[in-house]
Amino acid sequence: MAVSMYPISLPVFVRRLNGLATCLKKAQALYTEKKYDESTLLSYRLFPDMFTLVRQIQQATDHAKNFAALLSGASAPSFEGNEKSLADLIGRVQKTIDFLSSIKAEQIDGTEGKSVTVKAGDRELQFTGIELLLNRTLPNFYFHYTTAYNILRHNGVEIGKRDFMGS
């Protein structure tokens, strides 16, 4: 049985990003109710050499939107990367969902062998579409998404596996 690129990529990202938005909304409700300073959560990191919550979410959304743009030929939305609140992060996640939802299956299906170049600092990495998905985008997306979830959970946000999995 052949697997098509679209159903194993964009809908997966959208579902998880919806879960991330739910987690962030629960954090926003908690921090509003308890009158906690959101900046402490936004700048939190699990270990000194890891990215902050803000950067984890930026990375997860960037991996998803850049994958979709590279394979579909669409222009990825540009985000300033200056999120300063949970509302800003929720907005970034929603804009990413909106972009991914605008890409049609026929724009992604059949791109398994498409040659793409990813810029990583001063390097240019070559991938086929399927290699990009399986060896770069999905692992990076899940790493940053999971780390963001763990930061939220560690800081008292009552979220669980159902939130993580998305709806």
Q: Tens digit of pLDDT per residue, the chain (167 long)?
A: 678 999 999 999 999 999 999 999 999 999 999 999 999 999 999 999 999 999 999 999 999 999 999 999 999 999 999 999 999 999 999 999 999 999 999 999 999 999 999 998 999 999 999 999 999 999 999 999 999 999 999 999 999 999 999 87
pTM of model > 0.85: yes
Q: Which long-range contacts (CB under 8 A, 24 or more apart) does 71-77 make?
A: 71/5, 71/9, 71/107, 71/108, 71/111, 71/114, 71/116, 71/129, 71/132, 72/103, 72/107, 72/108, 72/111, 73/107, 74/99, 74/102, 74/103, 74/107
pLDDT for position 132: 98
Set out the domains of the chain in order of their start, with CATH numbers: 10-165 (1.20.120.450)
Instruction: Find the helix or strand (DSSP H, E) in which 107 lies.
Output: helix 105-108
pLDDT for position 3: 81
pLDDT for position 1: 61
pLDDT for position 44: 98
For residue 51, the tally of other CB atoms under 10 A from its CB is 17
Q: Name the E strands within 81-155.
A: 115-120, 123-128
